Amino acid sequence: MSAMARRVAGFGTTVFVEINALAREFSAINLGQGAPDFDGPPEVLAAAVKAVNSDLNQYAPGIGMPAVRDAVARHAERFYGQRVDPEINVLITSGATEAVFAAILGLTDAGDEVIVFEPVYDSYVPNMVMAGVTPRYVPLRGDNWIFDPDELADAFNTRTRAIIVNTPQNPTGKVFSRDELTVIADLCTKHNVIAITDEVYEHILYDNLTHTRLAMLPGMAQRTLTISSLGKTFSVTGWKVGWAIGDEELVNAVNRAHQFITFAVSSPLQAAATTALSLPSTFFNHLRATYQAKRDRMVDVLQKAGFKVLQPQGSYFIMVDWRGVAPARVEDDVVFARWLTKDVGVACIPPSAFYQESNKHLSKYLARFAVCKSDETLAAAAERLSRLGKG
């Protein structure tokens, strides 16, 4: 008898684990995993240490510490003009990952459908499977990852309960435009569907693009659960502090699930989150400028090495087509990622991890690189990648 429940048996282990292990084995520069190799702002780290030493080591309220809920509300108003009552519209979660899972458990029933854009961030569909919910995929196509509005409209039906929108998107780096979000909003309103947004890269956009919050479009405040977290913006991915913002009814439903998943989130790290979210705009401007420089540098390095770059608009990922680079024996994205890690010494992620089984061929010639690395790491990767075009 297998010990594993049928619920999880189909998940397998992710390719991320394999590539990370290979990167260690072959001492590759790891541009695979989306975690910075540098620390967050010193005042935020200091706030965590101070909290640990200040008697903040017992359970926080399940919904989150009042100060951090307040900081989430003030951040929403500061950047998006979103008016949020911290008492009733904010829930603190163990990262965006838990927020999305609690949202699916709290807002959908078994047999419902939830729409996602494909390629899709890898936790959403397993979350749905665990909840007995059916994913409906809408493809993003072409170099600019565009969806067809008719195809999206066709995905909505009487069983559709929610749509998940991740902007800026992992793995493509797509930033959904206001026009695209308006198409989504109109369909949500027409079909009385909830929108769950994953905005963890909300502060990492390029070329002066603006992040539009779906919840701020007409008719969407009541039906949108906005999710984000500290990890990417403050370079503390290991902290796993996130939040969900929404109408009281939505937040209550998500909290029903949250209370029996984690109950409460790390108290000292919530205290530090309050400091982080209250940092002045100079911090956020500097973050953007830093990532713009890292992206521009790596786009240049990858192009010079012979890759076709699919220019990202946000997030800290770059997708490339590697056909101009790899030897003939490399037949797909997984083989390419293994080859680059072992033979070139630079690790990347095969994007087929973000596609359903029947569509994995769509990313056959693609690779995803993460740029959330120190300048030294990027320089070392650049040096190795520069040998590529030289046969």
Binding site for ligand PLP (CB under 6 A): 34, 95-97, 121, 166, 170, 198, 200, 229, 231, 237, 240, 242
Q: How far is the CB of 41 from ligand PLP (least distance, A)?
A: 17
Element (H, E) at 346: strand 346-347
Side-chain half-sphere exposure of 186, counting CA atoms within 13 A = 10
Q: List, in sequence order, the alpha helices (H) in the chain.
A: 6-9, 15-25, 42-52, 66-80, 95-107, 124-131, 149-155, 178-191, 248-258, 267-277, 281-304, 333-339, 375-386
Q: How far is the CB of 218 from ligand PLP (least distance, A)?
A: 26
Alpha-carbon span 64 to 351, nearest angstrom: 35
**Closest among 170, 169, 178, 279 to 230, alpha carbons compared:** 279
Alpha-carbon span 123 to 105, nearest angstrom: 13
- If the CB atoms of residues 140 and 382 are measured against ligand PLP, the closer one turns out to be 140
How does DSSP classify residue 119?
A: S
The tokens for 366 are: 């693609």
Q: How far is the CB of 95 from ligand PLP (least distance, A)?
A: 3
- If the CB atoms of residues 171 and 345 are measured against ligand PLP, the closer one turns out to be 171
- If the CB atoms of residues 234 and 365 are measured against ligand PLP, the closer one turns out to be 234
Q: How far is the CB of 242 from ligand PLP (least distance, A)?
A: 4
- If the CB atoms of residues 258 and 382 are measured against ligand PLP, the closer one turns out to be 258
How far are the Cα atoms of 60, 226, 258 from residue 255, in angstroms, in the given order?
14, 14, 5
- If the CB atoms of residues 30 and 237 are measured against ligand PLP, the closer one turns out to be 237
How does DSSP classify residue 141?
A: B
Element (H, E) at 139: strand 134-139
- If the CB atoms of residues 166 and 267 are measured against ligand PLP, the closer one turns out to be 166
Q: How far is the CB of 238 from ligand PLP (least distance, A)?
A: 8
- If the CB atoms of residues 34 and 350 are measured against ligand PLP, the closer one turns out to be 34
Widest distance between CA atoms in the chain: 61
Q: How far is the CB of 266 from ligand PLP (least distance, A)?
A: 13
Do 341 and 274 contact (CB within 8 A), yes or no?
no
- If the CB atoms of residues 197 and 305 are measured against ligand PLP, the closer one turns out to be 197
Q: Select the residue whose beta carbon is closest to ligand PLP and give its number.
A: 95
Alpha-carbon span 94 to 265, nearest angstrom: 6
Q: How far is the CB of 235 from ligand PLP (least distance, A)?
A: 12
Q: How far is the CB of 100 from ligand PLP (least distance, A)?
A: 7
Alpha-carbon span 105 to 314, nearest angstrom: 29
Q: How far is the CB of 362 from ligand PLP (least distance, A)?
A: 19
Do 191 and 114 contact (CB within 8 A), yes or no?
no
Residue pointed to by tokens 């769509």: 362
- If the CB atoms of residues 245 and 330 are measured against ligand PLP, the closer one turns out to be 245
Phi, psi of 311 (to 5 degrees): -50, 115
